[in-house]
Structures are given as C-alpha cells and as structure tokens.
Structure 1
Amino acid sequence: MFQSVNNLFSTDASEIKSLNGLRAFAIIFVLINHYALNLKFVLTNQPILELIYSNFWFGVDLFFVLSGFLISKGLWFHWQKFQSIDFRSFYIKRTLRIFPAYYFFLIITVTIAYALLKFSEKKGVSTEVQAALKKGISNVWGDFLFVGNYFPGIHNHTWSLSIEEQFYLLFPILCGILFFKLKFPKRQLMLWIFYLIPLLMRIITFIKVEESSKPPYYGEIYSPLQTRFDSLIIGVIVMDLFYNNQNFSNFLNDHKKIYHLLSILFFSALIFCLMISPHNLDIFSHTLRYNLQNLSFAGIMYLALINVKSPISNFLSLKVFTPFAKLSYTIYLWHFIFMGIALAILKVNQNVSLFSFHINFIFVLLIQLLLSIPLYLLIELPFQKLRTKLL
C-alpha cells in the first residue's frame, strides 16, 4: 500500500513528464472554474477575475488534447510493429481504465440523489429541488450509456467523459481503415480535414439555432461530440507530427527565435481567450474560439515535447504536478462532492474576503488530493493491475 501511494508522487521512464504538468493544469483549471462558480458572490466586484475564472472551463479542452495525443500514440506504436489495430487490447484497456471508477461514482451518487429525492418529498422541500432531482434521475441512463453529453442526467460534468468514450469507440476504426494506411503528408492532410469538421458544425449550428440553451449554446455547441472532437484530433495531429516528422522538430530547435515566438503566440492566444465573456453571443465566441484554445494548448504541448530542456518543458515536468496528474480522473469524477466537503469544513459564508477566497482554494485543492487517494487505491489501481496481467 505504501509503495502504491509513493508511486503517485513519482514518475517512471515510460512517462512523458511534461504531459503530467499539462494534465495537472487541466484539472486545476476545471477546479478553479467550478470553485469560482460556487462562490461567485465573492467576485461580484472583481469583474476581471470573475471573467478569467469563468473561462477556465477550457481545462476540458486541454484534457481532450492530451487524450487525443496519448490514445493515438498507443495505437500508432502498435501499428508500426504489426500493421494492424489490436481492437481487443485497446477496448479492454479503455474499459478497465474508465469503467470501474466511473460506474462506482455513478452508482454511489445516483443512490444519494434518489435518497435525497425521497427525503425532500417526505419533508416537503422546495418543489424546484424535487423537480431537478426527478429530471436528473430520469435521465441518468444517459450517463450510464456514455451519452450524457446529449441527455444530461444528475451530473453536469460527465458530458466530457461521454465525448471521450464516443471518440475512443470510433477513432481506432478510422485509424485502421483510413488514417494509418496513409503516408505522413496525406495522413496529416486527412487529419486536418477531420479537424475542421467540428468548426463547420459549430458555424452551421450557430447560424441555424434561433434561441440557444443557457449558458449560450451549451447544449447545441459546448457538449456534443460533433462540435467538440477537434480538440481530440489536434492531439492526434501533434502525436503524428512529433513522432513522424523529426525535421520540423529540428528546425524549431535550431531556430530559437521562431520557437520562442511561437511560445509567446500560444500563451497570448490563451490569455486572449480568457478575456472573452461566456455570455457573448457573437459567432467567434462559439466557433473559432474553440480552435484558438485547442490549437494553443496543442502548440504548447508540442513545444514542450520537442525540447525537454526548454523552460516550458522543465516547468511542466516539476514533480509537484505528478500526483495531480495521476489522480486527475478520480478528482474529476468526485470534485463537486469533495469541494462541497471542503467548503463545509471551511464554513464559507457571504463575508469571505478575496484573499480568503484564494487561500481557501489551496485547502480545497489539498482536500481533493487527499480524498482521491483512497478511491484511487481501492477502485482504479486494482483494475490497472488487472489490465497489466491480462495484456
């Protein structure tokens, strides 16, 4: 047990350390975003901070970019050796990685929701609360079947896991029949064509939808697979570029000015995205903005990968990020509940200061980490070991 806990704070030779840093930032962005939404009354007189934190939902885009890179990397390495896709091995790996922790989370939370519904009916709690619980429970099948991005249940964050699972189901097939059969130039061209499809879908949706959901275009653009899978595809493009075009990597490493200029460009683009109001109804905010975000994250990832001695890579490779990266899946699943526990311990009220707001977040972050460890050890880790034995 001690060794398992110790492994959470260390990396092995097979890991790309800089990706741990990116994964840690992805989960921290999401946590800050939801923390700020829960305590938005603190930011009433801080419009800039409120705007920035409300846009940290782009951490989900970073998760997608990382997933696209890592999933395609495993498939590509197998293809290089055997000229085939091992569908059985791939789906077993994904099942044992995702399903146990996910379904354990769903069963526990749905049981709690059902108990709360019965309690609220018995005690005559607000009919609005009852209606929300009933609607969520009636649609919970969407989460169980990984279509929660189209049929929301009681959770408002599992939609992203549905998108990833849908992508995992379809992408290996496309690799086997199309992408991996092409030479590098044609494969890149085809991947970029696929990358542009969600942008086209977002534009069409934006033009056609007369009255969007709230937040703006959440149900029409933010959560469907067909309007969001470009963030996954760009991760695939980076994988292909990194492993199959050493000349471009060498060019950037030989031309430091271009390398640093691209670094500034990507980080500046992300800062620009943080300044866009989530309530905007213009076409850019709901179409090209997604591309700007995922391209910037992909660019930063690529620059970190091709130069492990760069400041970007060195920073992202810091050991402090490792436990957050390894526990990111468990934290993501449970973070709303863990956050509620942390805020209850802190006894946060309407009088909390801006300084306390930020100090309290550090406590929330530590609670997320500490409460995730036993769940990881009891649920995730045993199935990871089983996966290793089977494959």
Structure 2
Amino acid sequence: MKSSSGAHFIALDHVRALAALMVVTWHFIHATNGYPVTFDYVPAIFPLAVLDEGHTGVALFMTLSGYLFAKLLDGKSIDYRAFIWNRALRLLPLLIVVILLVGLQKLLNGESIAAYAQSIAQGLWLPSLPNGGWSITVEFHYYLILPLLLWMLHQSQWLPFSVIGVALVLRWFLHQHHGEIQFLAYATLVGRIDQFVLGMLAYHFSGYIARRHVLVLLAIVAFTAFYWFFDQQGGFFRNPSYPSPSPIWIFMPTIEGLVYAIGIAWYDNSFAHSQSNFSKLVARLGEYSYSIYLLHFFVVFEAARFVHEHIMDISNFYLACVWALFFFVLMLLPGYVSFRLIEAPFLRHRRRYIKVPGA
C-alpha cells in the first residue's frame, strides 16, 4: 500500500490480506463446481459464512480502493494523467503476463486463440479478462470517474450518496426489465460503484467511526448473520441458480460496501497498529495480494484436489478452511517473486501525481 507519495498504511495492508484470503478460500474449498466442499453447505458458525461465500472478498477490495484513494487524494489537486500512468504501471505488467500465460495454456489445450484474443480486447469494457482480471476492468472504470467523485465529495459530503441512490434505482430497473441483476451487480461498475463511493465516504466520515468499537462490532455481527442467511438461501450459485432472479442483488453491493467501509475506517483509525513479526507477515501478504490474487488461479483448484484425493478428505468445511489458510500462506513465495520480478521494476517509473500548492 505504499504510494508514489511515499505514504504507507500497514492497517490497509492487513485489510487487503483479509480480502485476498476470503477469495482464495472461496476458490480452494469450492472450485467452480462445489468440490471438495459442496455449494449447498452452510457453516454452523455463522461468521464463517463470509469464507463459505468468499467471493465477497472482491467487495472488500473495491471498498478498500475507494477508501485508499480518498485518503490519498481528498482535498488535493492531482495530475490526472500522471495518476492514470501510475495505475497502469501498478496493474498492467502482471496482468499482461497472466493474459499471456492463460493464452499459452489455451494454445496447448487446442482452444481457439482468436476467440481468446477477442475476449481480451473486450476486457476494456466487459468483465472478460482471465484469472479474476475482470475486476481490473471494474477498477479502470472507477478511475475514469474518480475525478468526478472527488469533485462531488469536495462540494458536499452528502452529494456522493446520490450516486448510490442512482445505482440502486438503476439496478432495480434492470432487474425489473431482465429478471435478474446478479451478473451486473457482481461483475461491473453497475454494482461496484456503491462500494467505491462508500469507501470514499468512510474516509470522509472516519472521525465519526473511529473508536466506536461496540457499534462497529454490532454492524459486523449483523453483516455476518446476514451473509449466513444469504448462504442458507443458496448463496452465489444456488439462489436458486446463477444468475439469480433474487432481488437481493439490487441491495447486495450496497450492504457489502457499507459494512466494509465502516470496518475499514474503524480499523484504520482506532488503533496503533503493531509492528510485530505477525503484523508484518500479514502486511506482506497484503503487499503481495495483487500477485496472489491473479496467480492463485493457476494452482488453487489442483492444490485442493491434490489434498483431497492424496492427503486427506477435506470435504469437511472447517478442515478445508484450515488447508486454504495454509495454501494462502504458501502463496507468499510466488507472490514475493512476482512482486519483485514483475511488479516492482515498473513501480520505479511512477510519477508524483499530487500537485504541490505554489509549485
């Protein structure tokens, strides 16, 4: 989480590590077909529903992005071209490597490279990039409107709420028209805009959230109970199918964004964060989380299958989560190598994008 300004926020690295853990656990325990843990399983310990439905970690990533950029940019004058340049240096090198590796896999498997190339080209506006790269498309769309959101936040602390209201109405309209809104709510800015905006608002209102331990704890408990109920109703894939006709997806991005935004602002502003070895380890996982996020797709499904078929039965959810945590920590090594060899060399070419008054 170290920016071109030199700012580093260890608390936000911790949050980023948690988000990556949620996504990796989701893929490890369920794969794409409910193996080794079936999709219809619901944990008896209700807070663990956010691991059983670990796709929600993407919402935490998005909300964190909104919070971070508000923390870095709110009230400041920025060189937007330099900002976009820095984001491209941060995201594109590893994404391009992953795109090439997936293309090589498809070539070796005899799949159509022309169709794959078309999906990559469409990734500028559609959620079609591989290995979770669709979320980078959503981030890019957020960057395009970030100056407008910062202007709105500068004009009035309440004005950005109108964006969330418009998004809710749009999702309701599209749900009425198409009969479902899950795909757009999950994989595009139509849903994710709420989370970016709520993250930005959480930074703006962080003074009201800091040290409100009881209220924040109640919000987190209520959220995990809600997600447990959502899991019981069939979760991401079986409510009753994918994409789901349930109207819950009209409100899901807002609910996730609100609670995650409150939690991020509370964690960032309520504690003197430890510099212990454990804290630094978690921060490292957060620092390398982008590499872990894009690279784990290459191995996570086979890793879970290998453990289940050759080491021990991990169809038990709790046991599978323990193995998922072990796998996540092991991803620290390829994450480190990827960060040092692919990401870090390009980061040296970042430009300062926050304008200094009078300069």
What is the TM-score normalised by the length of structure 1?
A: 0.75
Partner of 1:17: 10
Structure 1 or 2: larger helix share? 1
- Shift of the alpha carbon at 1:239? 1.8
8 A Cα contact 2:126 2:137, kept in partner:
yes
Uncovered stretches (5+) of structure 1, i.e. residues with no partner: 1-6, 118-129
Q: Which structure ranks higher in relative contact order (CA pairs < 8 Å, sequence separation ≥ 6)?
A: 2
- Residues 59-78 of structure 1: CA distance to partner in whole angstroms, max 9, x if unpaired? 0010001101112222225x
Partner of 2:119: 139
User: Which has the higher mean CA deviation after the structures are superposed, 97-106 or 274-283?
Assistant: 274-283
How many residues get paired? 335
CA–CA separation in structure 2 for the residues paired with 1:318 and 1:332: 20
User: Which has the higher mean CA deviation after the structures are superposed, 279-288 or 105-114?
Assistant: 279-288
Task: Check 1:267–1:86 CA distance in 2 against 1; reply closer, same or farther (3 A cut).
Answer: farther
8 A Cα contact 2:36 2:308, kept in partner:
no
Partner of 2:346: 383
| Structure 1 residue 42 corresponds to structure 2 residue 50 | no
1:148 to 106, 111, 126: 126
Matches within 5 A, 1:1-391: 14-38=7-31, 40-44=34-38, 47-49=41-43, 53-76=51-74, 79=76, 84-117=77-110, 130=111, 135-143=115-123, 145=124, 147-149=125-127, 152-153=128-129, 155=130, 157-175=132-150, 178-179=151-152, 181-182=154-155, 187-210=156-179, 212=180, 217-242=181-206, 246=207, 248=208, 253=211, 259-276=213-230, 277-278=234-235, 279-280=238-239, 281=244, 283-309=246-272, 318-340=279-301, 342-343=303-304, 346=307, 348=309, 352-353=313-314, 354=316, 357-387=320-350
Uncovered stretches (5+) of structure 2, i.e. residues with no partner: 355-359
CA–CA separation in structure 2 for the residues paired with 1:263 and 1:314: 20
Task: Check 1:148–1:367 CA distance in 2 against 1; reply closer, same or farther (3 A cut).
Answer: farther
Q: Partner letter of residue 146 of structure 2?
A: F
Task: Check 1:291–1:297 CA distance in 2 against 1; reply closer, same or farther (3 A cut).
Answer: same
- Shift of the alpha carbon at 1:201? 1.8
8 A Cα contact 1:327 1:372, kept in partner:
yes
For 2:126, what is the secondary structure of its paired residue?
A: coil
CA–CA separation in structure 1 for the residues paired with 2:115 and 2:28: 24
- Residues 29-49 of structure 1: CA distance to partner in whole angstroms, max 9, x if unpaired? 000111122273433498213
CA–CA separation in structure 1 for the residues paired with 2:7 and 2:202: 19
- Shift of the alpha carbon at 1:108? 2.2
8 A Cα contact 2:29 2:321, kept in partner:
no
Structure of greater Rg: 1
8 A Cα contact 2:82 2:352, kept in partner:
no
RMSD between superposed Cα atoms in Å: 3.4
Task: Check 1:263–1:343 CA distance in 2 against 1; reply closer, same or farther (3 A cut).
Answer: closer
